[in-house]
């Protein structure tokens, strides 16, 4: 058997020397010695300068002379696993171009010489010393280029703080060690420096877990610390798609200390049960009469509506459990979810008593029969995007007043009318970037004077007789659609506007006065923007106007 192994290793080395083995990349040749061929290796006089990556997977026995490594002077990657080395060989330390070094399960105990050798490996970017009784650890402040460090199961009892200094590391794995407490300095560091840290499977004390929880609530980082198995199980029962690490992270982000976790989980369990009960009652409460036509509903229509309600119930329960699609457009740092449906509902959406703050996008496409949405939307206070289409609301939903993070609001064909009392309902939404109330009989334009972030405003076919007050004084407004209304007067402040309007801005299909057309013509000659009004591109006699192109202003 040993003879067969040695002969097979000989064949492998000869193929490698002749460059007959596959290349890892176009420029890097690799040599992988599998466990079946690992064991004592020869001392070679040949030099494999073309080999950039060497991997040896052992079975716990020595490799004999480590001078074998001297035959690979150009290594940038060296991974030796489960080989009895006892220390880092000088042949490894002397590799000048080595960037990635993995020596897991090699029974390594570092001494002064090997520590100094490591400190001199200035090209090193990745170091894995997992499952070794190190005894001592390097001074990582002397290895600033080291971005990936793994010291899993190495007997560590404390965190070397120099691991978390500048420049930031990308991964610092200290899992499965004997760390019970953490230094106060750790909790003063920003999350940009602590996010790489993995302290899972360490016997952290309860006071230490409380400190981590407080830090996590402030920064979102929990160092991969673990809650109790019972708490993790309860969390995964509430949120079945959570992996164990996700359940732990969720627990540490809950409000309060570790003693508050169990009561909070109890409250969440009750909240989810109540959500299911409330939704089930709503599913069964199908109206007898059509909410718009006020005529009796036949059994087939009521059965279809009950099915639609059941589907909406399922959708909301999935969203509560964080199983709905992620909101890829969210502006927040944490993952958030969407609730999007085109399920038509007869009457009002359900009254909810649950928290959906983890949902940042809500979209409902109806067919004109949904008459009330506030009972549901009051539970979605952290929405960044709200889209309602083809509902029969009559007025702006009151619930949007409690959505301070709303940046996109689109409610087309929702039968919305504005009054002098309701036209200012959007004034406090100071994050609003996109507003579309097209195809509604608004009558009055919404007050946008305080919407300083507004970039797109769409009020097409909205029964308006006037442009929104101050619309041309909103500096960031680049897209404006007021087409198909009854607007006669375009304010004179258009000509003083500093806004750079896009080509797709639209004021067409309005009975514009001669004075308004004159302003549009003057604006067109200055900017080339015609607002889709053909008459703005010609003078009163129909002669095409010449657009002036002023030279760009200097920075």
Strand residues in 39-170 grouped as ranges (E): 51-57, 77-81, 100-102, 126-128, 148-150
Q: What is the mean pLDDT of residues 519-546?
A: 92
217 inside domain: no
Report whether pLDDT(390) > 50: yes
82, HSE (Cβ side, Cα atoms, 13 Å)? 10
* pLDDT at site 18: 87
Report whether pLDDT(554) > 60: no
Q: What is the mean pLDDT of residues 328-355?
A: 94
Report whether pLDDT(477) > 70: yes
Structural domain containing residue 57: 1-154
Report whether pLDDT(550) > 70: no
Residue 449, domain CATH: 3.80.10.10
Cβ burial, residue 522 (10 Å; 0-12/13-18/19+): middle
* pLDDT at site 552: 45
Q: What is the mean pLDDT of residues 204-220?
A: 97
Percentage of the chain beyond pLDDT 70 is: 98
483 inside domain: yes
Q: How confident is the model at residue 215 (pLDDT cuts 50, 70, 90)?
A: very high
* Rounded distance between C-alpha atoms, residue 410 and residue 408, angstroms: 7
* pLDDT at site 461: 98
What are the pLDDT digits (tens) for 179-203?
A: 999 999 999 999 999 999 999 999 9
28 inside domain: yes
* pLDDT at site 216: 96
What are the pLDDT digits (tens) for 130-166?
A: 999 999 999 999 998 999 999 999 999 999 888 887 7
* Rounded distance between C-alpha atoms, residue 276 and residue 284, angstroms: 12
Q: How confident is the model at residue 457 (pLDDT cuts 50, 70, 90)?
A: very high
Q: What is the mean pLDDT of residues 429-446?
A: 96
Q: Total domain count for the chain?
A: 2
* pLDDT at site 551: 43
331 inside domain: yes
Q: Among residues 120, 135, 154, which one ends one of the domains?
A: 154
287 inside domain: no
314 inside domain: no
List, in sequence order, the alpha helices (H) in 221-344: 229-238, 244-253, 261-284, 299-320
Q: Which residue has the higher pLDDT, 323 or 549?
A: 323
What are the pLDDT digits (tens) for 485-510?
A: 999 999 999 998 888 899 999 999 99
What string of DSSP letters covers 451-510?
-TT--EEE-TTS--SSPPTTGGG-TT--EEE--SS------GGGGG------TT-B--SS
551 inside domain: no
Q: Among residues 89, 121, 154, which one ends one of the domains?
A: 154
104 inside domain: yes
- What does pLDDT average to over the chain? 93
Q: Among residues 103, 121, 154, which one ends one of the domains?
A: 154
């Amino acid at each position: 058997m040993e003879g067969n192994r040695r002969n097979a290793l000989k064949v492998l080395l000869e193929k490698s020397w002749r460059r007959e083995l596959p290349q890892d990349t176009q420029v890097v040749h690799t040599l992988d010695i599998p466990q079946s061929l690992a064991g004592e290796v020869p001392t070679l006089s040949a030099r494999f300068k073309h080999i950039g990556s060497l991997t040896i997977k052992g079975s716990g026995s020595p490799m004999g002379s480590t001078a074998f490594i001297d035959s690979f002077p150009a290594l940038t990657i060296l991974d030796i696993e489960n080989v009895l080395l006892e220390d880092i060989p000088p042949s490894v330390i002397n590799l000048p171009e080595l960037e990635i070094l993995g020596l897991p399960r090699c029974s390594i105990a570092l001494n002064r010489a090997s520590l100094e050798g490591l400190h001199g490996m200035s090209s090193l970017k990745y170091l894995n010393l997992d499952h070794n009784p190190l005894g001592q650890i390097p001074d990582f402040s002397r290895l600033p280029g080291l971005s990936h460090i793994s010291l899993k199961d190495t007997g560590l009892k404390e965190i070397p703080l120099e691991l978390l200094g500048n420049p930031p590391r990308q991964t610092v794995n200290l899992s499965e060690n004997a760390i019970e407490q953490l230094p106060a300095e750790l909790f003063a560091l920003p999350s940009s420096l602590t996010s790489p840290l993995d302290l899972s499977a360490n016997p952290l004390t309860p006071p230490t877990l409380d400190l981590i929880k407080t830090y996590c609530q402030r920064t979102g980082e929990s160092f991969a610390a673990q809650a109790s198995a019972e708490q993790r199980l309860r969390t995964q029962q509430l949120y079945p798609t959570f992996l164990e690490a996700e359940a732990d992270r969720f627990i540490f982000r809950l409000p309060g200390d570790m003693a508050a976790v169990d009561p909070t989980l109890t409250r969440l369990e009750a909240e989810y049960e109540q959500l299911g009960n409330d939704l089930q009652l709503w599913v069964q409460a199908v109206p007898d009469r059509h909410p718009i036509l006020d005529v009796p509903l036949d059994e087939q229509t009521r059965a279809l509506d009950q099915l639609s309600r059941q589907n909406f119930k399922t959708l909301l329960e999935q969203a509560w459990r964080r199983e709905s699609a992620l909101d890829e457009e969210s502006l927040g740092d944490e993952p958030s979810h969407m609730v999007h449906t085109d399920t038509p509902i007869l009457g009002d959406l359900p009254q909810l008593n649950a928290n959906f703050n983890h949902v940042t996008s809500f979209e409902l496409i109806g067919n004109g029969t949904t008459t009330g949405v506030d009972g549901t939307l009051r539970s979605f206070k952290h929405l960044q995007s709200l889209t309602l289409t083809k509902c029969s609301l009559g007025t702006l939903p009151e619930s949007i007043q409690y959505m301070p993070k709303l940046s996109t609001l689109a409610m087309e064909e929702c039968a919305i009318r504005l009054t002098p009392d309701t036209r200012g309902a959007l004034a406090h939404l100071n994050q609003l970037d996109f507003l579309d109330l097209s195809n509604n009989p608004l009558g009055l334009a919404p007050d946008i004077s305080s919407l300083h972030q507004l970039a797109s405003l769409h009020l097409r076919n909205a029964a308006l007789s006037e442009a929104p007050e101050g619309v041309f004084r909103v500096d960031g407004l680049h897209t404006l659609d007021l087409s198909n209304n009854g607007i006669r007067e375009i304010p004179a402040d258009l000509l003083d506007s500093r806004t750079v309007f896009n080509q797709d801005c639209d004021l067409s299909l309005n009975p514009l006065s001669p004075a308004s057309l004159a302003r549009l013509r003057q604006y067109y000659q200055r900017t080339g923007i015609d607002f889709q009004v053909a008459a703005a591109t010609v003078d009163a006699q129909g002669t095409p106007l010449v657009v002036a192109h002023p030279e760009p202003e200097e920075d």
